[in-house]
Amino acid sequence: MRPPRRPRPGSARGRACRLAAALALAAALGGCSGRTDGATEPAAGAEGYQPARGDTFVEALTGNISGLIPNVLSDSASFEVGGLLYNGLVTRDKNLNLIGDIAESWTFSRDCLELTLQLKKNVRWHDGRPFTADDAVFTYETMIDPRTPTAYREDFKAVASAVAQDPYTLRVRYKEPYAKALQTWETWMLPRHVLEPYARAGKLRDAPQNRASPVGTGPYLFREWRPGEKVVLVANPDYFQGRPYLSRIVYRIIPSQATIFLELKAKGVDMAGLTALQYSRQTDYPAFRKAYNKYRYPGNAYTYLGFNLKDPRFRDVRVRRALAHAIDKRQLIEFVIGGLGREATGPYKPGTWAYTADVRTYPYDLARARALLAEAGWKPDSEGILVKDGRPFQFELMTNQGNDERKRVAEIVQASLKELGVQVDIRVIEWASLLKEYIKKRRFDAIILGWGIGLDPDQFNIWHSSKTAPDELNFISYANPEVDRLLEDGRRSCVQADRTKYYRRLQEVLAEDQPLIFLYFRDALPVVSSRVKGITPAPAGIRHNFTEWFVPRHLQRYTAG
């Protein structure tokens, strides 16, 4: 349920995880209001049905999970499974606000430097031992330990100390005010009494708990993992927030999207993500509408056209603005994903607290584009090709292999810019070599890629001018002192009203500068079997209340178990 809270581009490898990612992202990052589609039941599905325990819920994952301790893993399938086995101290509600999970309440000191969390007293590990503040301290120590192979250390680096004041009080001190202080504690909590020897030795991945016997506090207990085949979880009768209704969760690993879709048709799986084509064309018949509820809400990743700002042609903001004017975003969304997405104006998702629509936009306008380019010195020659200093405007547009959507975006950009007299050559390159040979070495003109966005608006690592080393994320080499300042301030404040101000200004500047052309946010398109009730679409998507989903007794399909 808790995806990695950091921007990450989709990737070719990601194909295997795309579905899981879509679902996981949908869970935590709905954004705008989710809604059911077509003639399905109203959002409050529980109406008129008596909640009942039982039944098996079958979900399809396109990738094998890689382990059972998500803190040391990095694939979205493992996060999804881990989300039902573990809890954080805090979590997100349906409107994406932070609420207590294991924590009952918390207080910040006046200077924002000290955070005190009161923990619930009835939380137990799956082996029956009580959860105490000491386990939270252990989780912190493990995450910060250089021997722990985790990719989620960064947030914990701001912590100066974490101590268990008593078994149910955790006191955390920060080195400086840190905007993500509370969010850090969304991390899955790990049991000290089970994992300490492995963590000390830096061998968490080798621990039996990572392979066959995870011990968490979550709503589901681990039952079975057949590598490449399935993962089975069963309801935790002693869950501190009450036993979940669905008795058994089976994650089936089905690598082929086409097969998942056919399994859906045959009612072999209960939940899966659809492609735009499947959503709009292939599922629009009565039997399918009767068997499944379709949901649609903006996903948390946007696709963009990025420029190498070290290239003198793209360093000129007039050129970037001209190109933005030359791309018809609405038509692009229509062509590429059948209209199931929304235009992006900046790096934040519409509907989230940091987002503002009040920024400079670039409506489709070829005349404006031509004028801007002429201002920048690009004039058409006799054949209509733009030329400056005797050289034609021609660049290479790269994207990664295995993502047809991006390839189609590239093709539309190519066709659009041809109208202007700009020649674009498309190159599709395998993900790893694109990254190593072109992006890290800055050997690209322009790229079509995507950024996943986190729950927190902090995007320091993407836009700050200090983050331009080969391995860092500002690979377009963007530098703007005002942006730097806004990012630093936004990160240091713990007052949301101030942060809102900084991030709105950030969006204005980015929209003016167009360091990249923000194209669109695509919608997440999950379907869930209509026998499952209690699903309430919200800004956070649909998975936020998974433990409250149920199947009324007379509709239950799997009685055994």
Partner 1 sequence: MLGYALRRLLIAIPLLVGITFVSFLVIHLAPGEPAEIQTGDLSIQSDKQMRERLREEYGLDKPLPVQYWNWVKRLSRLDFGKSFSPDARPVLQKIGERLPVTLLLNVVEMLLIIALSVPIGVLSATRQYSTFDKVTTVFVFVGFATPDFWFALLLIMLFGVQLDWLPISGLRQINWEYFSFWRQQWDFLSHLILPITVATFGGLAGFSRYMRQSMLEVIRQDYVQTARAKGLAERVVIGKHALRNALLPIVTILGLSLPGLIGGSIIVESIFAIPGMGQLMVQAVFERDYPVIMGNLVVVSTLTLVANLVADVTYSLVDPRIRVAGRRSRR
Minimum gap (Å) between residue 187 Cβ and partner 1:
12
Per CB under 8 A, which region of 21-29, 411-419, 431-439, 499-507 contacts partner 1?
Answer: 431-439
Compute the distance between CA of residue 561 and CA of residue 556 in angstroms, rounded to an integer: 12
Binding region for partner 1 (CB under 8 A) out of 2-10, 166-174, 193-201, 383-391: 2-10
Closest approach of Cβ 490 to partner 1, in Å?
Answer: 15
Query: According to the binding rule CB under 8 A, does residue 427 interact with partner 1?
Result: no
CB of 139 to partner 1, least distance (A): 17
By rule CB under 8 A, what count of residues binds partner 1? 66
Q: How far is the CB of 72 from partner 1 (least distance, A)?
A: 6
Residues whose CB is less than 8 angstroms from the CB of residue 277 and which lie 6 or more positions away in sequence, other chains included = 338
* Distance (Å, whole) CA 190 – CA 65: 19
- Please tell me the distance from the alpha carbon of residue 323 to that of residue 422, in angstroms, as a whole number: 10
Q: How far is CA 488 from CA 211, 245, 459, 468, 491, in A?
A: 41, 45, 10, 16, 5
Where does 363-437 show beta strands of DSSP type E?
A: 379-380, 386-388, 391-392, 394-400, 423-429
Residues near 223 by Cβ (< 8 Å), separated by ≥ 6?
232, 233, 234, 248
Q: Which contiguous run of DSSP H or E holds residue 333?
A: helix 329-337
Question: In whole angstroms, what is the distance from residue 307 CA to residue 489 CA?
Answer: 26
Q: Does 472 bind partner 1 (CB under 8 A)?
A: yes
What are 212's two structure tokens?
A: 């066959």
How many Cβ atoms sit within 10 Å of the Cβ of residue 328? 16
| Whole-angstrom distance, CA of residue 349 vs CA of residue 252 | 31
Q: Which of 91, 139, 150, 217 binds partner 1 (CB under 8 A)?
A: 150
Tell me whether residue 154 or residue 419 sits nearer to partner 1 (CB atom). Answer: 154
Beta strands in 309-407 (DSSP E): 341-343, 379-380, 386-388, 391-392, 394-400
Q: Which is nearer to partner 1, 59 or 523 (CB)?
A: 59
Of 226, 379, 391, 443, which one interacts with partner 1 (CB under 8 A)? 226
Tell me how far, at minimum, the Cβ of 374 lies from partner 1, in Å: 36
CB 124 within 8 Å of CB 238:
yes
Judge contact between 183 and 155, C-beta under 8 A.
Answer: yes
Q: Is 435 in the site for partner 1 (CB under 8 A)?
A: yes
Among 152, 302, 546, 549, binds partner 1 (CB under 8 A): 152
Dihedral of the CA atoms 476, 480, 484, 487 (nearest 10)? Answer: -70
Which token pair is 206? Answer: 């080798």
> Of 206 and 512, which CB lies nearer to partner 1 in the complex structure?
206
Binding partner 1 (rule: CB under 8 A), the pick from 436, 441, 443, 553 is 436
Compute the least distance from the CB of residue 451 to partner 1, in Å: 9
Minimum distance from CB of 332 to partner 1 (Å)? 23
Q: Which of residues 234-273 bind partner 1 (CB under 8 A)?
A: 250, 252-256, 258-259, 262-263, 265-266, 268
- Least CB distance from residue 186 to partner 1, whole Å? 14
Determine the length of the chain: 561
Of the candidate residues 40, 43, 74, 171, the single one contacting partner 1 (CB under 8 A):
74
Sign of the dihedral defined by the CA atoms of residues 317, 323, 329, 334, in that order: negative
Rama region for 191: left / alpha / beta (φ>0; ψ in -120 to 50; rest): beta
Of residues 40 and 66, the one with the C-beta less far from partner 1: 66
Q: Which is nearer to partner 1, 34 or 88 (CB)?
A: 88
Which tokens sit at 500? 């809102």
Question: Looking only at residues 28 through 57 of this chain, which bind partner 1 when binding is defined by CB under 8 A?
Answer: 56
Choice between 490 and 537, CB closer to partner 1: 490
Which CB atom, from 133 or from 476, has the smaller least distance to partner 1? 476
Return the residue of 3, 11, 336, 502 that touches partner 1, per CB under 8 A: 11
Q: Is 229 in the site for partner 1 (CB under 8 A)?
A: yes
Is 431 a residue that touches partner 1 (CB under 8 A)? Answer: yes
Interacting residues with partner 1 between 529 and 558 (CB under 8 A): 558
Helix, strand, coil shares, percent, the chain, to 5: 35, 25, 45
Structural tokens at position 370: 């031509």
At closest approach, how far in Å is the CB of 381 from partner 1?
A: 39
369, 421 Cβ separation under 8 angstroms: no
Closest distance between partner 1 and the C-beta of residue 542, in Å?
Answer: 22
CB of 300 to partner 1, least distance (A): 13
In terms of phi and psi (left: phi > 0; alpha: psi -120 to 50; beta: otherwise), the region of 55 is left
Name which position in 6, 342, 464, 491 contacts partner 1 (CB under 8 A): 6
CB of 462 to partner 1, least distance (A): 7
Lookup result for tokens 């936004």: 490
Binding site for partner 1 (CB under 8 A): 4, 6-9, 11, 13, 16, 56, 58, 63-64, 66-67, 72-74, 78, 146-147, 149-154, 205-206, 210-211, 226-230, 250, 252-256, 258-259, 262-263, 265-266, 268, 430-433, 435-437, 439, 454, 459, 461-462, 471-473, 558, 560-561
